[in-house]
A and B are shown apart, each in its own frame.
Chain A
Amino acid sequence: MRFKGSQDIAAGMMFVGIGALALYISADYNMGSARSPGTGVLPRILSWCLIGTGVLVWIKAFLADGPSLGLAGWAWRPVIMVTVATVAFALHVDSLGLVPTMVLAMTIAALGTPETRWVEYTVFCLLMLVVGWGMFIYALGMPIPVWPEKMPDWIVAVRSVLKRGQ
């Protein structure tokens, strides 16, 4: 089913949703006095403004034709792979070291587009390893391990959960 201007409806939903959430969270922030406005003043003003904007977007969506959200046209593959690659970098750089993490993250990112040519990618990956090591470890002396030093935290966590289950 296609809505009229489903892009606007979704945008309005995001604004109203985040606004309402912020309003709910900031409900017990103290408002202070007029002379010294408290923690809650600006959050509450902004939340209401955001909700109002969302409602306006909705009104616009109902009044006029807008672009469709076109979920099918979204870049699902890059979205997922690029995000996973970034998260993979975050989860492993402290434990596995720069070189394995780089290979892992860059390969996941390369899987994000059907354009990747693997021979070309391999050469590029090696080049990037040299650049990455040379710049950040050799030249800038960043305190990152280069090779694996310990088990990544998330594996340790999963393991302990599994053990508890047994």
Chain B
Amino acid sequence: MTGAINMFKNKIIIAAVAAMVGLAAVPANAAEGGARPERQAWSFAGIFGTYDQNQLQRGFQVFREVCASCHSARLLAFRNLSEPGGPDFSEAQVKALAAEYDIADPTAEGGARPGVAADRWPSPFANDQEARDANGGSLPPDFSVLAKARGVVDPFPTWVFNYFTGYQEGGADYIRALLLGYHDEVPGTAPEGFELPEGKYYNDYFPGHAIGMAPPLADGSVTYTPGEDGVAVPETVEQYATDVSAFMMWLAEPHLVSRKQTGFAVLLFLVLFAGLMYATKRKLWAGIEH
């Protein structure tokens, strides 16, 4: 190919890419939710990500004391709370916790019995309709995979970079932003002509900006006991939101830590093995003109 044709071909490729960049720069959901939720530096992000055990325990406390009165977590089993890679409570703590809850059991006397570690987290409501009736017609979503059922859309080229950084924390970013996205009154940043329906609350990040859930967190509403190091954790809405979002990520992805640890070993092995295979291929083909 001559130099001129080469340059022409390159120009076409660059033009096409530029066109796509220009198109992609507009996020598809700009009209619905608010700005992109702020990206947090989660401990579980990246190839060496792990859960912060203390954070998960705090997040569980927030879940239990605040959220669990309306939100179910039907795929959470009490025993998960003592499994490695999570909040890592002791088996005795989990046993005691489970016994505090009544689990529906048709074989038990009276139809219910104290929970055991093998039981699932009981729902606060008997069925969806009861949940709606208690929440102004809105159904509080189940927490089990909620952190994966939500995400953020990044514009080009960020979404390309996300593939290389393994960005999977969009749900946690969104949930935290939502919990911190309430306003006492409809703010000036609201879309033009926005009217807040009766019984709803304004939220920056909820699609449509009118969420049925009242702001669930307030400063000091959950009392954190200091950890072993004696350092007190701030009892602020921001801290609660961050901790419960991390907990919800663990709820959705309990095997995250072992998955990433295994992945590192697998990738290391594959790179090494690819190197050996390449050397083998080269040696084999050394005598052949090709």
- State whether these chains interact: no
Interface positions of B (Cβ within 8 A of A): none
Interface positions of A (Cβ within 8 A of B): none
